[in-house]
């Protein structure tokens, strides 16, 4: 089982595995626990992403774990956007946690690395053996860059989260914005749940403009301080209209949804850049 709107790269890999006959793939909206319960019958693995990328939906990890136990299914959580400092899925009963260490853990947009953590030592050993046999062993430089990033993760994330929350509140009050998706906002459908299962709300903010997709794309490309790029979790703030990618479009990402990864720049400088961009959207509309 997988979410019906995860990071599109995950969808592509799962669909390819299903096409080869390696797995039977079911997709479900995990924020709908009744639907998740119905889809859980005979499942072997429930893969969840919370907060999700780029919609920032919040899934009740403990509740999904409870549903999975009835089917003897494993639960794997992509914890990339939250990081271990904000959310700890293993403590909520998950069996596996994965991270793209390329993102917040590395923190400097110069590392390609993935992590998988298992609650059961025996399963962790199985993953280790598989990694060795497949040759997916990080080099010395990758290990060094990951360690360097981890040493500053707490201070980076603390600053980025504060800025993200500030910008999310300001964006919510801007006339050119149709909707802001940030778990720290009381208006977010998953706000109460996020307040319970997370110790913070992360540094990712997604928002939809009232302009056209074309005007929204131009806004992203014309930022002066904020970088128009596709990655996330680094020290620089990045912005992108996600529906420019077919994978996100077919998964229902709104045409004008902008995903913003908040970095370490001064909040007022970032806000001035966003305001200028939104004024250009007004002109375009």
Q: Which domains does the chain have, with CATH numbers?
A: 2-134 (3.40.640.10), 153-284 (3.90.1150.10)
The whole-model pTM stands at: 0.94
pLDDT of 22 reads: 85
pLDDT of 285 reads: 52
Tell me the pLDDT of the chain (285 aa) as tens digits: 999 888 888 989 999 999 999 899 999 999 999 999 999 999 999 999 999 999 999 999 999 999 999 889 999 999 999 999 999 999 999 999 999 999 999 999 999 999 999 999 999 999 999 999 998 899 999 999 999 999 999 999 999 999 999 999 999 999 999 999 999 999 999 999 999 999 999 999 999 999 999 999 999 999 999 999 999 999 999 999 999 998 888 889 999 999 999 999 999 999 999 999 999 886 655
User: What is the DSSP pairing of strand 2-3 with strand 27-28?
Assistant: parallel
pLDDT of 160 reads: 98
Torsion of CA 250, 259, 62, 161, to 10 degrees: 180
Helix, strand, coil abundance in the chain, percent, nearest 5: 45, 15, 40
pLDDT of 156 reads: 98
Q: Tell me the C-alpha to C-alpha distance, in Å, between residue 9 and each of 16, 24, 139, 237, 274.
A: 11, 18, 24, 22, 28
Residue 10 in 3-state DSSP? Answer: helix
pLDDT of 284 reads: 57
User: What is the DSSP pairing of strand 238-241 with strand 257-261?
Assistant: antiparallel
Residue 78 in 3-state DSSP? Answer: strand
pLDDT of 282 reads: 66
DSSP letter (8 states) at residue 101: T
Distance CA 26, CA 18 (A): 10
Q: For the chain, what is the radius of gyration of the CA atoms?
A: 19
Q: What are phi and psi of 25, to 5 degrees?
A: -100, 130
Beta strands in 129-246 (DSSP E): 177-181, 204-209, 227-228, 238-241
pLDDT of 250 reads: 84
């Amino acid at each position: 089982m997988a979410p019906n709107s995860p990071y599109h790269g995950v969808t592509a890999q799962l669909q390819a595995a299903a096409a080869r006959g390696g797995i039977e793939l079911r997709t479900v909206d995990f924020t709908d626990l009744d639907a998740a319960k119905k889809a859980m019958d005979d499942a072997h693995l429930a893969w969840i992403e919370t907060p999700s990328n780029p919609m920032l939906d919040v899934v009740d990890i403990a509740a999904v774990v409870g549903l999975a136990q009835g089917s003897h299914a494993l639960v794997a959580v992509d914890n990339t956007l939250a990081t271990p400092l904000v959310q700890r899925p293993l403590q909520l009963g998950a069996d596996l946690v994965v991270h793209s260490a390329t993102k917040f853990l590395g923190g400097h947009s110069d590392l390609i690395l993935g992590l998988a953590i298992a609650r059961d030592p025996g399963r962790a050993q199985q993953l280790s053996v598989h990694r060795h046999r497949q040759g997916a062993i990080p080099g010395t430089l990758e290990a060094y860059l990951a360690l360097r990033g981890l040493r500053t993760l707490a201070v980076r994330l603390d600053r980025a989260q504060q800025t993200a929350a500030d910008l999310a509140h300001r964006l919510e009050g801007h006339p050119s914005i149709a909707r802001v998706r940030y778990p720290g906002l009381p208006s977010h459908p998953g706000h109460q749940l996020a307040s319970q299962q997370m110790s913070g709300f992360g540094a990712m903010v997604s928002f939809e403009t009232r302009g056209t997709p074309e005007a929204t794309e131009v806004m992203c490309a014309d930022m002066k301080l904020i970088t128009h790029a596709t990655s996330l979790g680094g020290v620089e703030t990045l912005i992108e209209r996600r529906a420019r990618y077919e994978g996100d479009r077919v998964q229902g990402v709104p045409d004008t949804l902008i995903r913003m990864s908040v970095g370490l720049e001064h909040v007022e400088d970032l806000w001035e850049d966003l305001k200028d961009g939104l004024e250009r959207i007004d002109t375009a509309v």
